Amino acid sequence: MFTMATGKEESTSSKHASHNFLRQFRDNKTRKFKEISAGSFMDVWNHYDSDGNGYIEGSELDDFLFELVTSVTSQEDAPETISQAVLQEAKASILRAFDENKDGKIDITELATLLPMEENFLLLFRRDHPLESSVEFMKTWRKYDEDHSGYIEADELKHFLKDLLNSLERSVSDEHLITYADTMLQLFDRNKDGKLQLSEMAKLLPVKENFLLRPIFKGAKQLTTEDINRVFNLYDRDGNKSIENEELHGFLKDLMELVQEDYDADDIEEVKQILLKECDINHDGKIDKDELAMVLVSFAKASQGPDEDVEEDVGGDHADTCLGKE
């Protein structure tokens, strides 16, 4: 495997010269990329995400970038030689352009924008049309989890993709739709159980922002009434002064993403029961603004070190007891 050096300026006479995976997707005459189909995209992803962790990173990223740059030449050309400096410059340039979350890795949706994808398939990644919040995500989840199994299965995913394309005024054949659904399932089904759990569907159906990931809430040292009001208004979509039903599930989804990457509907339900038991002071099965303040203050305190504390002007007498805080 090719690994970028950080020291002296070396050149690489590529052992990839006759095995450059990306070269097959370039036009023989123009050397430009041809339009990549859904099936071919899956092949590219599986080839470079060799450990199957959902990212092209480390040596995988180095190999991908090396083959991306050198695939411009044909196999009949002289052996490829490229300096470390050129590769480092190419890596920095590509990450600046396509690594939207700045994590130094390429995920599935970032790769889809990097390569010249079949247009209808690219639209399924919704990069230009993210959902407003996780409340809308949970409403969509409930709609397409038609059998209430806690998973989006193949037929349900097909229905979702069909409605998505229809909403974008795009029509595709049943054959293409089946291919899209199968490809999406294989791309986002990280645990390979043949269906999408909540965290997997969340990768396919992104929201604009998990507001709880902002520094003021994650490991915060100070929370104000204004902070709490902003969060409450984000989740209280119907303005009835309570966070309930899909609003509550959307809040719990965002909360789960602060502590773990993989989660399913059962995890959300378990956290819901704990939260309502510990923080639903009036036992109405909903979270009002004061109760939300207790949740956020408790979580912020749990995120601090043992010698640190969170300053707050919210939460009342219950702020230290919600979510197991003694």
Per the prediction, the chain carries an average pLDDT of 84
pLDDT given for residue 221 in this prediction:
58
Question: Where among 176, 204, 232 does a domain terminate?
Answer: 204
Are 154 and 255 contained in the same domain? Answer: no
Q: Shortest CA distance to 200 belongs to which of 210, 187, 183, 209?
A: 187
Read off the pLDDT band of 11 (50, 70, 90): very low
Identify whether 267 is part of a domain.
yes
Are 109 and 140 contained in the same domain? Answer: no
Backbone angles phi, psi at 323, to 5 degrees: 60, 40
pTM: 0.77
Inter-CA distances, 48 with 1, 20, 99, 106, 222, Å? 11, 11, 16, 10, 43
Q: CB of 244 within 8 A of CB of 285? A: yes
Identify whether 313 is part of a domain.
yes
Identify whether 252 is part of a domain.
yes
Identify whether 36 is part of a domain.
yes
Whats the size of the chain, residue-wise? 326
**Taking 50 as the threshold, does the pLDDT of residue 254 lie above it?**
yes
**Taking 90 as the threshold, does the pLDDT of residue 72 lie above it?**
no
Question: Where among 148, 173, 204 does a domain terminate?
Answer: 204
Are 170 and 227 contained in the same domain? Answer: no
Place of tokens 């909403």: 167
Give the CATH number of the domain where residue 180 resides: 1.10.238.10
Cβ neighbour number for residue 292 with a 10 Å cutoff: 23
Identify whether 126 is part of a domain.
no
Containing 113, the helix (H) or strand (E) segment is helix 108-114
CA atoms of 291 and 281, how far apart (whole Å) = 7
CA atoms of 67 and 178, how far apart (whole Å) = 31
Are 26 and 50 contained in the same domain? Answer: yes
Are 96 and 18 contained in the same domain? Answer: yes
Are 285 and 224 contained in the same domain? Answer: yes
Per-residue pLDDT, averaged over 57-83, amounts to: 79
> pLDDT by residue (tens digit) across 138-161?
999 999 999 999 999 999 999 999
CA atoms of 56 and 91, how far apart (whole Å) = 12
Per-residue pLDDT, averaged over 288-311, amounts to: 74
Are 29 and 113 contained in the same domain? Answer: yes
Q: CB of 185 within 8 A of CB of 196? A: yes
pLDDT given for residue 217 in this prediction:
64
**Taking 90 as the threshold, does the pLDDT of residue 6 lie above it?**
no
Q: Which of 81-90, 210-219, 275-284 has the lowest mean pLDDT?
A: 210-219
pLDDT given for residue 2 in this prediction:
36
CA atoms of 152 and 314, how far apart (whole Å) = 39
Are 189 and 291 contained in the same domain? Answer: no
Read off the pLDDT band of 78 (50, 70, 90): very low
Are 97 and 32 contained in the same domain? Answer: yes
Q: Shortest CA distance to 176 belongs to which of 118, 125, 231?
A: 118
Per-residue pLDDT, averaged over 151-175, amounts to: 93
Are 82 and 177 contained in the same domain? Answer: no
Cβ neighbour number for residue 20 with a 10 Å cutoff: 21
Cβ neighbour number for residue 272 with a 10 Å cutoff: 18
Are 83 and 141 contained in the same domain? Answer: no
pLDDT given for residue 15 in this prediction:
44
Supply 52's token pair: 């199957």
Identify whether 4 is part of a domain.
no
Identify whether 6 is part of a domain.
no
CA atoms of 85 and 10, how far apart (whole Å) = 8
> Percent of the chain at pLDDT above 70?
82
Identify whether 1 is part of a domain.
no
**Taking 50 as the threshold, does the pLDDT of residue 326 lie above it?**
no
pLDDT given for residue 129 in this prediction:
79
> pLDDT by residue (tens digit) across 176-218?
999 999 999 999 998 999 999 999 999 999 898 888 887 666 5
Inter-CA distances, 216 with 68, 243, 296, 318, Å? 39, 21, 10, 21
Question: Where among 70, 91, 117 does a domain terminate?
Answer: 117
CA atoms of 41 and 188, how far apart (whole Å) = 13
Q: Which of 10-24, 36-50, 70-84, 101-115 has the lowest mean pLDDT?
A: 10-24
Q: Which of 64-68, 87-91, 274-278 has the lowest mean pLDDT?
A: 87-91
Q: Which domain holds residue 144?
A: 134-204
- What is the domain count for the chain? 3
CA atoms of 95 and 270, how far apart (whole Å) = 38
Are 196 and 94 contained in the same domain? Answer: no
What angle, 0 to 180 degrees and rounded to 10, lies between the N-to-C axes of helices 154-167 and 174-188?
120
Read off the pLDDT band of 309 (50, 70, 90): low
**Taking 70 as the threshold, does the pLDDT of residue 313 lie above it?**
no
pLDDT given for residue 43 in this prediction:
95
Q: CB of 223 within 8 A of CB of 300? A: yes
pLDDT given for residue 13 in this prediction:
40
